């Protein structure tokens, strides 16, 4: 759209009249630098010299009555003003909360600094649970002036945290806590990132920034979608141990590692609320951390099957055809997803009436459910807010949200708007007291099982929150137009062929015709919608860096903010006057004096320049006041978690009594949803990188169900990469193939190698699904990690700290994927213990060295059972989890060098929130030639036990209840298989080998 010369002249005239007045009022603070970059002076006076700060002194200190710690007062030694005025008086509380957890909490005396609220997670309240200092496994020493403290482990004297000699800085918009790191420290965590699992803290200037953002391509050395201010400090080799440190703060922050010998939290405000965890093993630390932020919500059994999705399904018949193709290829498929394609012009809680008509969508879901499958759809938070010539009178989501004041707004009540896929959008304020009821009502209306879209789960995307505005002053209509929001759509097509399993779709039928009408026609435009050509790749379709799940391509380092005159001449609408009348450039909440290294907002110099960008770019403004009274500045990192919490609750209400499955992109510690790790790329580097990312969530951050987009989301995959990724993805706890519209389609059935790989990997995943479900149950009970780095299992072996392309799937199964293009060999590390090949059960003796396997075809992947395990498998093949649950069990007994093995199996209905006593928690133990089944057996739908395979055995006779039973011995593999048991897992049982 172009303006006439007269209109442009009018805009220029208005600018000329308005600008002097605004300058006179101090509302425009921007100025043009010589290099063309607009620098914005910081509105906060500061020195930018934190190293000159003297810190605080401990004035008053008294022991707490419980004997669990002490309270005290800190006073400022001398003015610092590193990044703003100092708080002169602080309060400190130290508590031994459990035997393995010590808390140090420092607040300003007046209680003005932001505190993370407990609507995100039920954080431990001070003095809620305590032990005495004598009962604690940790000890704290305090230096009075300058104030500092040191935390040590009593058992071995190991120093966990030591701030002595590193003055505390506590200001409104800058808080710094620095500690020495003991020699031999290996730091893991501080998610979300795509760096090494063990962070490269000795790399010059290495910084982990926590500020949630849309991060297409998940680039390294940057902040990504989630913020988890927790790390594990692991020591390996002789004297191996681990400890944990959690800073309960939702502030944006840089965590720095000066010289690799210190750890330094640099937060944009808030308080200091540090939790120190004793360990002493990494798994202990993970369990102790989960006691702070909570345990992952249990997921339904079906959600552990294989999921399929693509941005670019042109209509509901296309979706049905994908399901039919997976069935025809013999590849197990559990859940079919729909990306934003299903929406009318990308408006959430709507259907495209021409391509995804309600009757057809309901029909496809009915057919999926009849075959034991499920449907999941995407729901973004951004809600279309209207634009010229587009009516929103009938858009109930917007109307009811505005009527109830649900959306983020300016102080004067004006709706705050950004740009996402529909174009101009509003953002729900999840802290609003009516937000939950509003979202519940939206779910009841749109996802009603009787009249709406009866999905089984919800996919939450763009909830950092993502925003396509490149800078906060940008005009929403211009950006929407330039970005082509919403993207154009192909015209409704004629269904080209019949679809097995979906017989109501007729070849030759217009997809926009009523279901079953056999309506023909030439692709007439459907009701409402932005129509393009019949080509799939329309002119309005995104480029590879403009996906449905991503912000625009990442700006390069030298991108400059547009000048005011450029904005004026390039803005096509009269309302772009708002684009250069920028009343908030003097806001300290938009331009804080300390600039975190947010990828979207490069840090400033130490002087008075706030820099090229601000932390609101490509996200919601940080100067807005939420309904709970907090600014978005302080709670930006909580937006995605709140979205997940409200959605989780709404899904529970819509499906009463059934577990909710929600999966989100953005997260904070304690998020109830499962996590998918964002918009990765179809490269071998990112294939390997997904392992590191999974471990930072599933091991360190306490998220049980997590995974990457198999075969990559952006760019074009290859047949061999996708085939290998089909296997690696099968050992993510969340398994999905998903990619974007501008990439080639990559459904597993499209190539021969991927078909072979996905079919084999899918069946192995289903065989192991009860093993997976059981270790996730254990994770849900006490926070035991779902996935394990090798160094966490073999901490005595210092070489394992560098192994990042292998991991343990659950406690027993070592995964060693092929990592090179077109290769059929893989070199991997085997610690010094006994393993059993998963497929042959032949024993393999690890020697603490690398081994190479050749001839690794695409129908397999190196998998090894760590000795000492009993692994339950489903015996047979299935295409869905419902079919899988009807198969009998086979138990694999893989004894260690002492002839012992142990395992666990959880049996329940797989979907109820309240299981009551209808569960079976079964223990398997093998020792001295005797195998025992014990536990509780409350699950009524008892499952058959078909056979037990004992690995690493000489030929023996198996006895059950004093009677010899049928057994087959494989002398080459040294396995003894006791088969045709005809038993059910409904009680105790003993098998003796003699």
* 955 cis-preceded (ω within 30 degrees of 0): no
Dist CA 531 CA 412 (whole Å): 37
Mean pLDDT over residues 832-848, rounded?
98
Closest CA to 841 of 680, 945, 953, 737: 953
Q: What local confidence, expressed as pLDDT, does residue 574 receive?
A: 34
Q: Is residue 899 assigned to a domain?
A: yes
CA 332, distance to chain mean position in Å, is 25
579 vs 807 pLDDT, higher one: 807
Task: Report if residue 529 sits inside a domain.
Answer: no
Q: Which token pair is 529?
A: 């919608």
Three-class SS state of 674: strand
Pairing between β-strand 930-937 and β-strand 963-964 as defined by DSSP bridges: unpaired
Is 978 in contact with 955 (CB distance < 8 Å)? Answer: no
pLDDT of 5 strictly over 80: no
CA-CA distance, 382 to 428, in Å (whole number)?
7
Query: Is 920 a member of any domain?
Result: yes
Mean pLDDT across 618-625: 96
All residues at 6 or more sequence positions from 642 whose CB lies less than 8 Å from its CB, including other chains: 119, 120, 430, 431
Residue 558 has pLDDT above 70, yes or no: no
Q: Could you give phi then psi for residue 210, rounded to 5 degrees?
A: -110, 100
Ranges 239-243, 381-385, 494-498, 543-547: which has the least confidence: 543-547
Residue 962 structure tokens: 């004093």
Domain finish residue from 293, 317, 335: 293
Cis geometry, peptide bond prior to residue 566 (ω within 30 degrees of 0):
no
Give the tens place of pLDDT for each residue, 651-708.
999 999 999 999 999 999 999 999 999 999 999 999 999 999 999 999 999 999 999 9
**CA-to-CA distance for 347 and 59, rounded, in angstroms?**
58
Rg of the chain taking only CA atoms, in angstroms = 29
- pLDDT at residue 521 is higher than 60: no
Q: What are phi and psi of 31, to 5 degrees?
A: -145, 155
Q: Which of 300-309, 509-518, 539-548 has the lowest mean pLDDT?
A: 539-548
Q: Whole domain around residue 197: which residue ranges?
A: 50-293
In a domain, 751, yes or no: no
pTM for this entry? 0.91
CA 324 to chain centre: 30
Distance (Å, rounded) from C-alpha 134 to C-alpha 96?
A: 9
Q: What Cα–Cα distance (Å) separates residue 716 from each residue in 336, 711, 735, 772, 946?
A: 21, 9, 19, 31, 44
- Highest mean pLDDT out of 511-520, 543-552, 658-667: 658-667
pLDDT in tens, 424-448: 999 999 999 999 999 999 999 999 9
> How do beta strands 674-676 and 706-707 pair?
parallel
- In this structure, is the dihedral angle defined by the CA atoms of residues 905, 911, 912 and 913, taken in order, positive or negative? positive
Say if residue 280 is preceded by a cis peptide, omega within 30 of 0: yes
pLDDT in tens, 79-112: 999 999 999 999 999 999 999 999 999 999 999 9
Helix count (H) and strand count (E) of the chain?
Answer: 17, 50
Half-sphere exposure of 227 (CA within 13 A, CB side): 28
- Let me know if residue 711 belongs to a domain: no
Q: Cis (ω within 30 of 0) for the bond into 928?
A: no
Residues β-bridged to residue 629: none
Q: Can you tell me which residue has the tokens 């590849």?
A: 331
Contact 892, 754 (CB under 8 A): no
CA 951 to chain CA centroid, nearest Å: 38
| CA pair distance 3, 9, nearest whole angstrom | 10
Confidence at residue 447, expressed as pLDDT on a 0 to 100 scale: 98
Of residues 51, 79, 204, the one with CA closest to residue 606: 51
- Decide: 48 and 82 in contact? Cβ < 8 Å: yes
CATH code where residue 877 lies: 2.60.40.1180
Residue 192 placed within a domain: yes
Rounded to whole angstroms, how far apart are CA atoms 358 and 454? 11
Pairwise CA distance, residues 923 & 902, whole Å: 7
Q: Could you tell me the CATH number of the domain that includes residue 214? A: 2.60.40.1760
Domain count, the chain: 2
CB 921 within 8 A of CB 668: no
Pairing mode, if any, of strands 813-815 and 863-866?
antiparallel
Q: Who's near 273: CB < 8 A, 6+ residues apart?
A: 103, 104, 105, 106, 115, 116, 247, 248, 249
Measured distance CA(57)–CA(145) in Å, rounded: 5
Domain boundary among the residues 266, 293, 320 is at: 293
Q: Is residue 266 part of a domain?
A: yes
- Residue 614: pLDDT band by 50, 70, 90 thresholds? confident
Q: What pLDDT sits at residue 39?
A: 54
- Give the chain's mean pLDDT: 89
Q: Is residue 903 part of a domain?
A: yes
Looking at 239, 271, 293, the residue that finishes a domain is: 293
pLDDT of residue 472: 82
Query: Catalytic amino acids?
Result: 461, 464, 679
Separation of CA 653 from chain center:
23
Is residue 580 over pLDDT 90?
Answer: no
DSSP state of 971: T
């Amino acid at each position: 759209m172009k303006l006439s010369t007269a209109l442009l002249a009018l805009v220029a005239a208005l600018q000329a009249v308005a600008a002097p007045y605004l300058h006179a009022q101090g509302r425009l603070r921007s100025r043009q630098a010589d290099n063309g970059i607009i620098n914005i002076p910081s509105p906060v006076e500061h020195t930018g010299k934190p190293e000159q700060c003297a810190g605080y002194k401990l004035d008053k200190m008294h022991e707490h009555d419980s004997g669990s710690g002490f309270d005290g007062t800190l006073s400022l030694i001398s003015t610092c003003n590193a990044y703003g005025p100092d708080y002169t008086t602080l309060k400190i509380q130290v508590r031994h909360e459990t035997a393995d957890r010590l808390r140090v909490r420092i607040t300003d005396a007046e209680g003005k600094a932001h505190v993370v609220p407990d609507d995100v997670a039920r954080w431990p309240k001070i003095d809620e649970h305590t032990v005495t200092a004598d009962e604690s496994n940790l000890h704290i020493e305090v230096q009075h002036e300058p104030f500092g403290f040191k935390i040590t482990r009593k058992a071995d004297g190991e120093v966990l945290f030591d701030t002595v000699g590193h003055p505390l800085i506590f200001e409104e918009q800058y808080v710094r806590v620095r500690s020495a790191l003991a020699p031999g420290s290996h730091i893991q965590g501080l998610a979300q990132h795509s760096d090494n699992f063990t962070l490269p803290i000795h790399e010059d200037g290495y910084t982990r920034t926590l500020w949630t953002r849309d991060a297409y391509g998940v680039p390294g050395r940057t902040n990504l979608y989630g913020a988890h201010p927790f790390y594990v400090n692991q020591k390996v080799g002789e004297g191996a141990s681990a400890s944990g440190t959690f800073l309960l703060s939702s502030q944006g922050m840089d965590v720095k590692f000066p010289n690799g010998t210190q750890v330094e939290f640099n937060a944009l405000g808030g308080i200091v609320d540090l939790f120190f965890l004793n360990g002493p093993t990494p798994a202990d630390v993970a369990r102790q951390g989960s006691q702070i932020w909570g345990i992952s919500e249990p997921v339904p059994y079906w959600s552990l099957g294989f999921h399929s999705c693509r941005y670019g399904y042109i209509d509901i018949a296309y979706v049905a055809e994908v399901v039919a193709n997976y069935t025809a290829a013999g590849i197990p498929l559990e859940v079919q997803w729909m990306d934003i394609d299903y929406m009318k012009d990308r408006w959430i809680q709507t259907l495209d009436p021409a391509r995804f008509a309600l009757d057809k969508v309901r029909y496809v879901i009915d057919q999926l459910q009849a075959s034991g499958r499920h449907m999941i759809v995407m729901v973004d938070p951004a809600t279309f807010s209207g634009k010229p010539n587009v009516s929103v009178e009938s858009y109930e989501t917007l109307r009811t949200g505005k009527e109830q004041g649900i959306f983020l707004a300016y102080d004067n009540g004006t709706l705050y708007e950004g740009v996402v896929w529909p174009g101009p959008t509003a953002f729900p304020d999840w802290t609003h007291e009516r937000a939950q009821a509003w979202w519940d009502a939206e779910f009841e209306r749109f996802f009603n099982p009787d009249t709406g879209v009866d999905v089984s789960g919800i996919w939450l995307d763009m909830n950092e929150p993502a925003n396509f505005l490149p800078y906060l002053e940008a005009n929403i209509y211009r950006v929407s137009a330039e970005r082509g929001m919403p993207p154009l759509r192909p015209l409704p097509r004629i269904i080209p062929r019949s679809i097995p399993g979906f017989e109501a779709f007729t070849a030759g039928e217009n997809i926009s015709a009523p279901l079953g009408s056999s309506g023909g026609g030439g692709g007439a435009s459907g009701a409402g919608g932005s129509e393009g050509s019949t080509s799939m790749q329309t002119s309005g379709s995104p480029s590879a860096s403009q996906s449905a799940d991503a912000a625009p391509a990442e700006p390069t380092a030298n991108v400059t903010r547009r000048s005011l005159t450029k904005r004026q001449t390039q803005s096509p609408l009269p309302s772009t006057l708002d684009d250069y009348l920028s009343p908030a450039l003097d806001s300290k909440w938009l331009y804080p004096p300390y600039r975190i290294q947010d990828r979207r907002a490069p840090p400033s110099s130490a002087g008075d320049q706030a820099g090229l960008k601000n932390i609101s770019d490509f996200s919601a403004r940080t100067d807005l006041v939420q309904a709970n009274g907090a600014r978005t500045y302080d709670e930006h990192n909580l937006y995605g978690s709140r979205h997940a919490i409200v959605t989780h609750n709404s899904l529970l209400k819509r499906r009463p009594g059934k577990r909710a499955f929600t999966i989100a992109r953005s997260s904070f510690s304690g998020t109830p949803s499962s996590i998918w790790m964002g918009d990765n790329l179809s490269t071998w580097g990112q294939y390997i990188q997904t392992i590191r990312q999974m471990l930072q969530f599933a091991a360190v951050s306490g998220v049980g169900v997590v995974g990457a987009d198999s075969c990559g989301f952006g760019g074009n995959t290859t047949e061999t990469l996708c085939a290998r990724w089909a296997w690696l993805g099968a050992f993510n706890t969340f398994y999905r193939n998903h990619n974007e519209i501008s990439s080639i389609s990559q459904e597993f059935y499209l190539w021969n190698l991927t078909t072979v790989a996905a079919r084999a990997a899918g069946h192995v995943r289903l065989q192991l699904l009860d093993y997976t479900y059981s270790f996730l149950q254990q994770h849900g009970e006490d926070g035991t990690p779902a996935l394990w780095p090798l160094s966490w299992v073999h901490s005595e072996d210092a070489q394992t700290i560098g192994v990042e392309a292998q991991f343990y799937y659950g406690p027993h199964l070592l995964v060693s994927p092929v990592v090179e293009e077109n290769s059929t060999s893989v070199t991997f590390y085997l610690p010094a213990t006994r393993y059993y090949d998963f497929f042959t059960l032949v024993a393999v003796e690890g020697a603490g060295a690398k081994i190479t396997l050749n001839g690794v075809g695409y129908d397999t992947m190196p998998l090894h059972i760590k000795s000492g395990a009993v692994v339950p498998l489903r015996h047979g093949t299935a295409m869905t989890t419902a079919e899988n649950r009807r198969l009998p069990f086979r138990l694999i007994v893989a004894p260690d060098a002492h002839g012992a093995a142990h395992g666990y199996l959880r049996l329940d209905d797989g979907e109820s929130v309240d299981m009551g006593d209808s569960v079976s928690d079964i223990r398997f133990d093998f020792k001295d030639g005797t195998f025992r089944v014990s536990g509780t057996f409350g699950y009524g739908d008892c499952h058959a036990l078909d056979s037990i395979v004992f690995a690493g055995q000489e030929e023996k006779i198996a006895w059950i209840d004093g009677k010899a039973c049928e057994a087959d011995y494989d002398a080459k593999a040294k396995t003894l298989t006791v088969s045709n048991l005809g038993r059910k897992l409904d009680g105790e049982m003993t098998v003796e080998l003699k």
